[in-house]
């Protein structure tokens, strides 16, 4: 793949020469009009030439390109990109697709649909991890402890059994009207 | 914030990352410039297509095509290793067996209780 090495040396020469504007950006790689067999993902690359070709195919540098480990899980030569969510990308840069924070032609993570901005977020947490754990479990532990104490020492208004008049409702409870009921005193003076 | 520890699987804020300040060798700068060159080239291609007044069709993204193709065609690269076989068993076969036995025993017990008349239907709505 002398073409790939030549392209890289040319790009390096251009960037080192600090040529500004359009001339620095005219290079040999162009998008295909429709994916030919060489542009689609293929099997795991074994030789360095295959790796260089795969890196060029995915628009990555050869040093950056790292395929998924070849353990038969079906990845082929698809690159293993860092597990970073789209939340972490610069919101102020002019992306080609601003809602996805992605440029055209950029290699997509295998789990790209998981890392979109509606879903998994790997950006740094506002509070350090151990502080967050302490706050959460401290609060939960404290509430559990206080509920337990409340169960052990219940606090409510003192109540006694309900007291009824007319000798504990002697007649209403079916007492004999001719018999004199025994006197029930529900009070103390 | 010197003792900031990030959440597992999350990243460190860039301002607390020592690589931002210390490891700035010329090799790293050259690598960044190469990446910028690739990125600028892709941007140029996209803008040319986007602003082409004669364009009538959608702009096709080959990276997206490759991603979709890779995700939907893992089988040519699949091999039956111990790990993949174990995962296949764990997700495909074991739930079937476990759920079958769980539901069967639960339903058989319920049937026995109904026949013996000991079933306690606490939340019965119909008769």
Per-residue pLDDT of chain A (189 residues; tens, 9 = 90+): 555 555 556 555 555 544 444 444 444 454 555 678 788 998 999 999 999 999 999 999 999 999 999 888 889 999 999 999 999 999 999 999 999 999 999 999 999 999 999 999 998 888 888 899 999 999 999 999 999 999 999 888 888 888 888 877 877 777 777 777 778 787 888
CB contact under 8 A, B71 and A110: yes
Taking a C-beta distance cutoff of 8 angstroms, is the pair B45, A30 a contact? yes
Taking a C-beta distance cutoff of 8 angstroms, is the pair A135, A86 a contact? no
Q: Which ranges of A18-97 does DSSP label H, i.e. alpha helix?
A: 22-25, 48-57
CB contact under 8 A, B81 and A72: yes
Three-state SS for B52? coil
- Complex ipTM above 0.90? no
The pTM is what? 0.70
**How many CB atoms are located within 10 Å of the residue A123 CB?**
16
| C-alpha pair distances (Å), B15 with each of A50, A84, A124, B2, B11 | 38, 17, 11, 11, 11
Which A positions 101-120 lie with beta carbon below 8 A of chain B?
103-108, 110, 112
Report d(CA A88, CA A117) in Å as an integer.
Answer: 9
Report d(CA B11, CA B6) in Å as an integer.
Answer: 6
Which A positions 25-44 lie with beta carbon below 8 A of chain B?
25, 27, 29-35, 39-41, 43-44
Query: CA of A123, closest CA in chain B: separation in Å?
Result: 6
């Amino acid at each position: 793949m002398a073409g790939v090495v030549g392209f890289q040396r040319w790009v390096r020469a251009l960037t080192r020469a600090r040529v500004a504007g359009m001339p620095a950006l005219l290079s040999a790689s162009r998008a295909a009009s429709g994916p030919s067999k060489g542009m689609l993902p293929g099997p795991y690359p074994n030789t360095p030439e295959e790796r260089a070709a795969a890196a060029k195919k995915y628009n990555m540098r050869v040093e950056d390109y790292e395929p998924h480990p070849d353990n038969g899980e079906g990845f082929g030569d698809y690159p293993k990109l860092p597990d970073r969510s789209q939340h972490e990308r610069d919101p102020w840069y002019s992306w080609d697709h601003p809602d996805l924070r992605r440029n055209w032609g950029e290699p997509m993570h295998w789990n790209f649909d998981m890392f979109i901005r509606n879903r998994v977020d790997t950006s740094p947490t506002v509070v350090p991890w151990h502080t967050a754990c302490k706050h959460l479990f401290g609060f939960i532990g404290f509430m559990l402890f206080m509920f337990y104490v409340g169960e052990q020492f219940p606090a409510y208004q003192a109540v006694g059994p309900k007291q009824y008049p007319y000798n504990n409702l002697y007649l209403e409870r079916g007492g004999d009207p001719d018999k004199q009921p025994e006197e029930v005193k529900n009070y103390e003076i | 914030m010197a003792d900031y520890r990030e959440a597992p699987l999350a990243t460190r804020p860039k301002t607390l990352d020592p690589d931002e300040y210390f490891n700035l060798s010329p090799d790293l700068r050259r690598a960044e410039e190469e990446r910028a060159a690739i990125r600028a080239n892709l941007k140029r291609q996209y803008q040319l297509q986007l602003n082409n007044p004669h364009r009538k069709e959608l702009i096709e993204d080959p990276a997206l095509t490759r991603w979709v193709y890779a995700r939907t065609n893992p089988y040519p690269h699949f091999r039956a290793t111990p790990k993949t076989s174990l995962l296949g068993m764990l997700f495909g076969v074991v739930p079937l067996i476990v759920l079958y036995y769980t539901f069967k025993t639960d339903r058989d017990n319920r049937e026995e209780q109904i026949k013996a008349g000991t079933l306690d239907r606490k939340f019965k709505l119909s008769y």
